[in-house]
Amino acid sequence: MALEAFRQECNVEVRIDPSVGKAPDVLVDAALAVEALRNVIENAMKFNDKARKTVDLSAQTIGGFVRLTVRDNGVGIPPEERTKVFERFYQVENHFTGQVPGAGLGLALCKKVIEGMGGGVSIESDIGAGTRVLIDLPRSSAAK
């Protein structure tokens, strides 16, 4: 399903900060990076129990990396689950996130792809207030 159709189906407001357009160039496989980011954004939409769902995308430069932050206002991820969500076929328990169909491959794929391009992925989360997925992409040498 196309991301826009999925966004409409989930009734989510997606906001892109102007910092994204101003970020320096990164040295990545564009198609793979877009697919990884799409997986993160789709998770932010799916695992959200709020009546008014939001997903915010922003960027900042940190040393030799551009950090993309995908922030949602969903249920959050318990501390003990935050590293596990990057494992293949793993999903946080249904009683916590609600019954959401999926294979548990989105974040595992994201991590593998981003790390394969020399970047990194991590999660920060507040229970009941949302999650931030931090994607660090290596800046191109021309952008440094």
Domain with 84 in it: what CATH number? Answer: 3.30.565.10
Angstrom distance (rounded) from CA 39 to CA 107: 7
Read off the pTM: 0.82
pLDDT in tens, 41-93: 988 888 888 889 999 999 999 999 999 999 999 988 888 887 777 776 555 55
The structure tokens listed for 32 are: 């793979």
Total count of domains within the chain: 1
The closest alpha carbon to 75, from 101, 95, 58, belongs to: 95
**Which domain does 20 fall in, by range?**
3-143
pLDDT in tens, 91-139: 555 444 444 555 455 788 889 999 999 999 999 999 989 999 999 999 9
